[in-house]
Every structure is written in structure tokens, then in C-alpha cells.
Amino acid sequence: MKQPVMGKWYTSSRSNQGNQCVEVFHAANAVGVRDSKNPGGPELFFTVEQWNSFIRLAGQ
């Protein structure tokens, strides 16, 4: 999947200030995930459909 070029990484409003959480990036055609402790490190990108399936199944 081609990585999106515009957007903003964010963390959950429930995360603490310890930088020990996951950051998420939403674009029109993709969702990215990365480690907040290592913002220059690896990033995982998923289609919106894949992300929605993950969120749905994680909530079960």
C-alpha cells in the first residue's frame, strides 16, 4: 500500500503523558499505526476497510 503523505498522527485522549502508547494516522484511503516512543521508526498502514474490521473485532 502506498503511504499517505498528508495527515496528523494522534494518540488517544485516554493515554498518559508518558509516551507509551500507539499513535494513529487517518487519511482518506488509509490508517497508519506507529509507536509513540519511536515516531521515526516503522509505521504500519492499513486500508480503511482493514482498520474498521480490526476495530470491530477488537471490540468483541
Interval 18-38 mean pLDDT:
87
Between residues 8 and 17, the one the model is more confident about: 8
CB atoms within 10 A of CB 32: 19
User: 45 pLDDT band (50/70/90 cuts)?
Assistant: very high
User: 14 pLDDT band (50/70/90 cuts)?
Assistant: confident
Residue 57 has pLDDT above 90, yes or no: yes
Q: What is the pLDDT of residue 21?
A: 86
Q: Residues 6 or more apart from 47 whose CB is under 8 A from it?
A: 1, 29, 30, 31
